[in-house]
Amino acid sequence: MMPKQRILTIEDDGAIRRGIVDALRFAGYEPLEAGHGEAGLQMAVGREFDLLLLDLVLPGRDGLEILREVRRLRPTLPVIILTARGEEQDRVRGLKLGADDYVVKPFSVKELLARVEAVLRRSAERPLDVRRIAVRGAEIDLDRREVRFDDGQRAELSDREVELLRYLAGNASRTVSREEILASVWRISPQGVTTRTVDMHVARLRAKLRDDPEEPAILQTVRGKGYKFAADA
């Protein structure tokens, strides 16, 4: 049985938010919700979900600020913005910041669900659910948390190393920033947090994978940007 897709709704109007949440649940999604900009931002960068429904006018943090941070940390996450009829300028700014679509209030449940389905359908660039990885001279079994080398030796991975490797391998088509890794693997906001933790874990992973730290072939450093998993290593 396929897991339900999670949708986070950040909307300060309680009646609208409850209507959206009820409609999503009835349609078979797993809804998450926040009614304040600050709480919404924390959930947006710290929780796992498949699509964000984002109101632009919020207390605490406005929707455009949340969208900017989400796009910086989770560039492939689908986002639909919710706007009032007279907010065309903000709607345009939201689309320029990377929103995938918008819905104008008041909207029908039927229209909202159709747009949700359409955006999810065309958001194919999502992290893969990686369980086994073949690299040069070894096979990595993430379920068993171990690396099996061709010479018969093995290395055990920690839970954090497994999640880090799973995330990088699942996004092998692109460079992943340290800030995105902190948000998606550590589940913490990178604001005010050093990214040295990520570098240390990558260094330990390289050692366990026998990946040359001077010229890494598996966990590559993209200078000034972050890390990239080399799928053909």
**Amino acid 196: pLDDT:** 86
**Amino acid 23: pLDDT:** 96
**Amino acid 73: pLDDT:** 80
81 DSSP β-pair partners? 54, 102
**Amino acid 127: pLDDT:** 52
Measure CA of the first residue to CA of the last residue in the chain; give whole Å.
Answer: 33
| pLDDT of 181 strictly over 90 | no
Question: What is the DSSP pairing of strand 138-141 with strand 132-135?
Answer: antiparallel
Place 183 in a pLDDT band, splitting at 50, 70 and 90: confident
Of 46 and 32, the structure prediction assigns the larger pLDDT to 32
| pLDDT of 149 strictly over 80 | yes
Domain with CATH 1.10.10.10 in the chain: 132-229
The CA distance from 7 to 91, in Å, is: 20
The CA distance from 166 to 162, in Å, is: 6
**Cβ neighbourhood burial of 196 (10 Å; 0-12, 13-18, 19+):** exposed
pLDDT tens profile 78-121? 999 998 877 778 888 888 888 989 999 989 999 999 999 988 88
Question: What is the DSSP pairing of strand 154-156 with strand 219-222?
Answer: unpaired
Both tokens of 222, joined, read 């993209």
Place 202 in a pLDDT band, splitting at 50, 70 and 90: very high
In CATH, the number for domain 6-122 is 3.40.50.2300
* Element containing residue 155 per DSSP (H, E): strand 154-156
58 DSSP β-pair partners? none
**Amino acid 32: pLDDT:** 96
Place 36 in a pLDDT band, splitting at 50, 70 and 90: very high
| pLDDT of 1 strictly over 70 | no
Specify the pTM. 0.60
Domain with CATH 3.40.50.2300 in the chain: 6-122
Sign of CA dihedral 92, 9, 188, 216: negative
Place 190 in a pLDDT band, splitting at 50, 70 and 90: low
Average pLDDT on 17-35 reads: 96
The CA distance from 43 to 49, in Å, is: 9
Question: What is the DSSP pairing of strand 79-84 with strand 101-105?
Answer: parallel
For residue 199, what are the CA distances in angstroms to 99, 193, 218? 30, 13, 15
Architecture label for domain 132-229: Orthogonal Bundle (1.10)
Percent of the chain with pLDDT over 70: 91
Average pLDDT on 41-49 reads: 89
The packing angle between helices 63-73 and 88-96, to 10°, is: 10
Residue 4, SS3 per DSSP: coil
